[in-house]
Chains A and B, each alone.
Chain A
Amino acid sequence: MSKQFDVLINKGWCKGCGLCIAVCPKNVLELDDRVKCEPVRMDDCIGCRQCENICPDLAITVKEREQDA
């Protein structure tokens, strides 16, 4: 099975600038009704960490999901 990733958003720090949404190659992220980033298609994430690196608010963490043995 291919690797799965968790995209964790610290919504207290996110300011909804949309840079992560612009760089994501898999269109994983969207803005929610509070104009904060939300990983709506998390299963599509390929773990490239472009959103984590571009986030000016340091609000995104991409973690590899631990697989059940």
Chain B
Amino acid sequence: MPREEVMKWLRARFFPHIWCPGCGHGVIMHALLRSLTALDKKPEETVIASGIGCSSRMPGYINACTVHTTHGRSLGFATGIKLAKPELTVIDVMGDGDCTAIGGNHFIHACRRNIGITAIVMNNNIYGMTGGQASPTTPPGAKATTAPYGAIDPPFDICNLAAGAGATYVARATIAQPAMCEQYIKKGIQHKGFSVIEIVTHCHTQFGRKNKRSSPVDNLNFFKQASVAKAKADQMSPEELVGKIITGEFVNKDIPEYTEQYDKLIAKVRG
């Protein structure tokens, strides 16, 4: 990808960015920008919404129509934007806590409605910005500041949650596969309906230092050895899959999109 095209999408005056050295959020931002340039999107017709958290600093660096909203409620704002102007490309970037804990209700109802938003969930298993508290996706046994002896709660599987709630495109990749992230984001943006792309990333600062993965390279190697492609995972037993990250496309189906249905309803009622 020629670098100049990606540079046009950056607010270069805010660089270098605020994330820690080696933070996976930068990898995801680069993958998102590459997919936007590959799809020939225009910055003035692209909306990027976010809530609160490290991940939600991302729109500040992207030179498009961006909105930084309240904690967990970014999907509500994005839904409003999409309903008012369905021709816009609306992307919502969220962290795991923002998406599944604080914004859990907004998330499942956006999935249910099947509105044409692309939700990118950056899952780093922890609340990084606020000091490393356990999040709904902290794996059992992993340590956090609020779980000093290891978490005992069963974690959320964001892809299963989205698929169960009715999202029509669901995929997962890790930051060790930047080309795959780009491919899924591209497919998610092209998909008509609510698409969820979970990208498993790391927080070596808060999660890693308590869980023996304190450098970005340790995390990269962990993702490489722990990720399993979906086709292979289908043939493995549940015992073999403990602690593994299943990557691939989980759902890809066509169901009428919400804003289209809404326009049809308006036309019908007006007669």
Contacts and interface: CB of A to CB of B under 8 A. Distances in A.
Interface in A4-25: 12-13, 15-19, 22-23
A52 B33 CA distance: 13
Contacts of B16: 12-13, 15, 57, 59
A56 B217 contact: no
Contact of A17 (B17, B31, B182, B216): B216
Given A13-B15, A13-B16, A16-B21, A58 B220 contact: no
Contacts of B10: 58
Contacts of B216: 17-19, 56
A53 to B, nearest CB: 4
A56 B25 contact: yes
A27 B46 CA distance: 38
Contacts, number: 68
Interface string A36-69: 0000000000000110111111110101000000
Contacts of B15: 12-13, 57-58
A58 B179 CA distance: 15
Interface of A: 12-13, 15-19, 22-23, 49-50, 52-59, 61, 63
30 contacts: A12-B15, A12-B16, A13-B16, A15-B16, A16-B21, A17-B216, A18-B22, A18-B215, A18-B216, A18-B217, A19-B22, A19-B27, A19-B220, A22-B220, A49-B1, A53-B31, A53-B179, A53-B182, A54-B27, A54-B220, A55-B30, A56-B21, A56-B23, A56-B24, A56-B25, A56-B30, A57-B15, A58-B10, A58-B30, A63-B3
